Structure 1
Amino acid sequence: FPGNTTSPQRPLVPTPAVPWPGSQGKEAMLEHQDYETAMLSDIKALIRSDLAAHQDRLEQIAELNELDYYDFHNVNTRCQKIWDQWDALGSLTNSRREALEKTEKQLEYAKCVAPFNNWMESAMEDLQDMFIVHTIKEIEGLIAAHDQFKSTLPDAHREHGAILAIHKEAQRITERNHIKLSGSNPYTTVTPQIINSKWEKLQQLVPKRHHALLEEQSKQQSNEHLRRQFASQASVVGPWIQTKMEEIGRISTEMNGTLEDQLSHLKQCERSIVDYKPNLDLLEQQHQLIQEAFIFNNKHTMEHIRVGWEQLLTTIAPTVNEVENHILTPDDHGGALGPEGFKACLISLGYYVENDRQGEAEFNCIMRLVDPDRSGLVTFQGFIDFMSRETTDTDTADQVIASFKVLAGDKNFIIAEELQRELPPNQAEYCIACMVPYQGPEAVPGALDYKSSSTALYGESNL
């Protein structure tokens, strides 16, 4: 109010035609609900009421009563209107402040709920993630990680409660001041209902995951038991088969005692093999359990055991048969066989020896192998050595034929000059003596059939 407050002739208050400048636009501003849609930058720009700046001026008007101003009745009437307007502005200011506080709570809620919502989504993905393990160590690692996650749940529970408390505080401000806001929180789409739903689902997934891990741990413990059980049995069966193979070979090659003694020892081995069959059957049953449990990373394999067992069976039977045939063959040479007896023994074992010129030549080659001294007799040791070579070197015939084919320049026959040029003299002479003439259409004078000779010496070829 301009003017001298001590002059009784000059009005000390504005006339009705002069409104109070401090109140212009204040009510419209305070009643504006721009905070409903304002973003963070807008919230920071919202101005506060400057009514406090006019507090002293209103108090000065009240002092006119003490100065006995002549027109104080009109002044008081007008002053009352100003105070009424002041009270209205104060009420609007309080309402706007409450609305802004709610908006600030919404912003605080949005800042807290975003990272918590992301954490819950990531945790639920991990809890529902499939796992594939093969050992106890791997599943124990997953269980330890899950226990570590569960230890963080109390802190997460407190954070969940704090976020809901912020939202409830905003709701309390709204209800207390009867604030009507259009729409939802302008700073986030994650409502408390969404947070509660995800938190409830997370609480359900935690025990499910724990139960699944415990089931897998029990499964891996069972698998480990099967592995150890199979390995324990296989570590006994495998060496037993190897020991029997060595024992049969030793009986066959060592000339200790009579043929009857050797046959008796071989028969004992054969009976022990038959008696040991239940152990192999038990191992097969354990292997079946391993297959049904989908256990593949096992140190011992059943295929290796089966191969050893089949070799054992295919070794003992022919060896027993050989000794029996040798015992039954007439012996006029002090334990050695003559050519005819040796041929009969070969025929009884399944060797086909033709009664023609070529068959005779092939048999003579075999005789040179078993009777290198040209004594006309085949000793038992020579016979065993020949049969051992026949039963073990199944690919020798193919290898020998392939070697001769290289020497012959890829021809189906070879001549004596090529053998003498490529081989030592004694070996060349031996091959020339063993080989029969080649009868093929492309034969040349002096052509030798290296294929039939190799087959006669080492068995049938696959070439």
Structure 2
Amino acid sequence: MRRQRKHQEIRAMRSQLKKIEDLGAAMEEALILDNKYTEHSTVGLAQQWDQLDQLGMRMQHNLEQQIQARNTTGVTEEALKEFSMMFKHFDKEKSGRLNHQEFKSCLRSLGYDLPMVEEGEPDPEFEAILDTVDPNRDGNVSLQEYMAFMISRETENVKSSEEIESAFRALSAENKPYVTKEELYQVGAAPLRPGSASGPGSRFCSSFQNLTKEQADYCLSHMKPYLDSKGRELPSAFDFVEFTRSLFVN
């Protein structure tokens, strides 16, 4: 893997840092305390290298976690990419952490129907999520904690392709093998149930009675037009069978 190789390259450069530290020690022994050729100190360089090494380890661990989730839990690679992309979007300072407000905004962007509350007002639904993600309430959610939470929620909601296909078929008039835009958006007028989410996989498929407009948008943007037995495209008809089965391809 490219990230693993890059981390190995960083660790291999530790010997170069050791040479700089030895030169710094020799300068101190010679009472040369001011190096006009650089503004960096050996201590500062060592600290920055340690931070880079720790970042590499965290990124590698997170990638391994995502690969394991894809291979063992049925979470799609598309879903994992969406989770990571959303985290990076809200991590404005590129710190590898989200504060609680950023984390809440991230969840909303992923389709979680969290209530709007005034500052200082109780927020039991979000507090229940924080009990899992940030139990010690240090005020931050790391990328590792966030991914573990999202993978756990995704795994809890995974349905069989047959169940989801049957749910789509129930939406379709006359039990057709396709669904129309009007049928999806008619259901999309209903509110999303608390704690559910939209996006890839079963987060929106588990409860069609509560499909949101955003979830209907997602379905339509990922479904292919339906073709009849003669290969002709039907107006405003979308192939939910191919779409559903694509969600469960490993």
Band of TM-score, shorter chain? 0.3 to 0.5
The structure with the greater share of residues assigned to helix is 1
The structure with the greater share of residues assigned to strand is 2
When the two structures are superposed, what TM-score results if normalisation uses the length of structure 1?
0.21
